[in-house]
Amino acid sequence: MTANLTTQPTYAEQEETASLNFSARFQSSKALQQKSHTIIPGGAHTYAKGDDQYPENAPGFITKGKGCRVWDVDGNEFIEYGMGLRAVTLGHAYEPVIEAVSQQILLGSNFTRPARIELDCAEELLELIDGAEMVKFAKDGSTVTGAAIKLSRAYTGRDKVAICADHPFFSSEDWFIGSTPISSGIPQVTRDLTVKFRYNDLDSVKTLFEQYPDQIACVILEPVKVDDPVDNFLHEVQRLCRDNGAIFILDEMITGFRLHNGGGQKYYNIVPDLSAFGKGLGNGFAVSALVGKREIMDLGGINHERERVFLLSTTHGAETHALAAAIATMQVYKTEGVIEFLHRQGEKLTEGIDQAIAHYQLQDYFEVIGKPCNLVYATRDEQKQPSQAYRTLFLQETIARGFIMPSLVVSYSHTDEVIEQTVNAIAGALSVYKQALENGIEGYLIGRPVKPVFRPFC
């Protein structure tokens, strides 16, 4: 159902179709949604993919994807942004990756002893990441960030963890979820072990070390979320960690394989003690990695005299086909200009959307933010306050025009033509957004608003 936008329509033409009816039909999706909630808590296995994150008139289930396009169970075609929660950086069913996986899986996926490909993949990754001397693979980000916390506690003999309050997600494990509004089921004693600081606020980090002297095992944050570090923030946090005997950890789930081949740490010229990678590492296949300095990582090994750490020991952590996907993905990054392409397409997308925002005089109401390779958008209401209702309206109108757009995160498959189509569709959606601001959103929004994931009650 992707709109036919092979020619560039004027904004006036977009306004004529601003009340575009939903041509997609979601009968099969609606039926499956009812069934899914009876057998799957939340109806999905990832909260960010849940029904409460999308308008009521939205595709419920995807059947296949190719490049940046996906098809739902009703046969509707969409251009996708976000790409598997930022995990699919090259594109769905990207042929070099699929070919490597196909060849490897014919040889078996899991054995009683390590497979040679585990060493091959480890060497491939460590070659990319400056200062990383050892690596352990797992299947998801939560597992490896949790392992980083455990290592830090073992290495320092301390319990408290300092996390960046401006970065929305680090792990599904108790050490992080206990710090969120959805902390039910997590003991208070565990919640009390996690403390928070603010990004680009060095004083907030200093305050934690002063408030909890010799108690903080580690500091964990993403290299960047929206705004670049100012006043050498990352390096100054690292210095505070060294001065206070804490481990400095970078969560590279999102920045890895987007900002630079060597991650956000290479982009900002900093070498952390530990860092965690995933998502783009395997172009959507389940593989993640904890990398870091040997003196810390080796606590999880068997050739030292210190007390051992049960670091990572997952049955499926080194499935051979997932590691084949990772190797193939990294090789594409090494031989093609993936990073440069992501930045370039993000810049084009931002420029086009900003022109539409200016045309409709929505500068205070809709905003594109973030690095070009990792764009998101902000939606605001009549009072210029963050609004879930207007986010829902924007999602609703972009879905109507053939786009699934929880973010504006591009992939290697978002061509110039796709970017042009995207800008046209967003211009049409923003024309409706403008009318809703002027006339009241009630006449434009279909169904209930979306909700934040981190909320204490349904």
Question: What are 69's strand-pairing partners?
Answer: 66, 79
Q: What pLDDT, on the 0 to 100 scale, is given for residue 15?
A: 45
Mean pLDDT of 278-305: 95
Q: Is residue 284 part of a domain?
A: yes
For residue 89, being part of any structural domain is answered with: no
Point out the domain boundary residue: 311, 335, 359.
335
Do 190 and 240 lie in one domain? The reply is yes
Whether residue 10 lies inside any domain: the answer is: no
Each as own residue / partner, the long-range contacts of residues 177-183 (CB below 8 Å, 24 or more positions apart, any chain) are 180/454, 181/454, 181/455, 181/456, 182/453, 182/454, 182/455, 182/456
Residue 248, domain member (yes or no) = yes
Provide the mean pLDDT of the chain. Answer: 93
Query: Residues 111-163: pLDDT tens digits?
Result: 999 999 999 999 999 999 999 999 999 999 999 999 999 999 999 999 999 99
Please indicate, yes or no, if residue 269 is contained in any of the structural domains: yes
Residue range 8-25: average pLDDT? Answer: 48
Please give the pLDDT value at position 16: 45
Is there a single domain that holds both residue 215 and residue 263?
yes
Give the whole-angstrom CA distance, residue 241 versus residue 48: 32
Please report how many Cα atoms fall inside a 13 Å half-sphere around the Cα of residue 178, on the Cβ side. 17
Relative orientation angle of helices 338-359 and 320-335, to the nearest 10 degrees: 80
pLDDT for residue 14 is more than 70: no
pLDDT digits (tens, 9 = 90+) for 365-374: 999 999 999 9
Kindly state whether residues 259 and 301 are assigned to the same domain: yes
Q: Are residues 219 and 109 in the same domain?
A: yes
Name the domain boundary from 290, 312, 335: 335
Lowest-confidence pick of 13-27, 167-181, 345-359, 394-408? 13-27
Instruction: State residue 4's pLDDT score.
Output: 37
Same domain, 201 and 305: yes
> Are the CB atoms for 248 and 254 separated by under 8 Å?
no
**CATH code, domain with 242:** 3.40.640.10
Residues 318 and 341 in one domain: no
| CATH classification of the domain holding 371 | 3.90.1150.10
User: How far is 394 from 270, CA to CA, in rounded Å?
Assistant: 38
Whether residues 296 and 201 share a domain: the answer is yes
Verify that 195 and 117 share a domain, yes or no.
yes
The 403-404 sheet, strands edge to edge: 62-66, 69-72, 77-80, 403-404
Q: Is the pLDDT of residue 18 over 80?
A: no
Mark whether 329 and 428 lie in a shared domain.
no
Percentage of the chain lying above the pLDDT 70 cut: 95
Is 353 a domain residue?
yes
Q: Which residue type sits at 152?
A: S
Q: Examine the domain organization and report whether 320 and 412 are in the same domain.
A: no
| 260 found inside a domain | yes
Segment 195-235, tens digit of pLDDT: 999 999 999 999 999 999 999 999 999 999 999 999 999 99
Q: Tens digit of pLDDT for each residue in 41-75?
A: 999 998 889 899 999 989 999 999 999 999 999 99
Quote the pLDDT of residue 20: 43
Asked if residue 232 and residue 112 are part of one domain, the reply reads yes
| In-domain check, residue 130 | yes
Neighbour tally for 360: CB within 10 Å: 20
Predicted confidence band of residue 24 (pLDDT cuts 50, 70, 90): low
- Rounded to the nearest 5 percent, the helix, strand and coil shares of the chain are 45, 15, 45
Q: What is the pLDDT of residue 25?
A: 83
User: Which DSSP helix (H) or strand (E) runs through 328?
Assistant: helix 320-335
Residue 458: per-residue pLDDT: 85
Question: 328 and 191, same structural domain?
Answer: yes
Which structural domain, as residue segments, surrounds residue 234?
95-335
Question: What is the count of structural domains for the chain?
Answer: 2
End residue of a domain, out of 284, 310, 335:
335
Between the CA of residue 326 and those of 12, 89, 116, 223, 312, what are the distances in Å?
46, 12, 14, 22, 19
Asked if 92 and 65 touch (Cβ cutoff 8 Å), the reply is yes
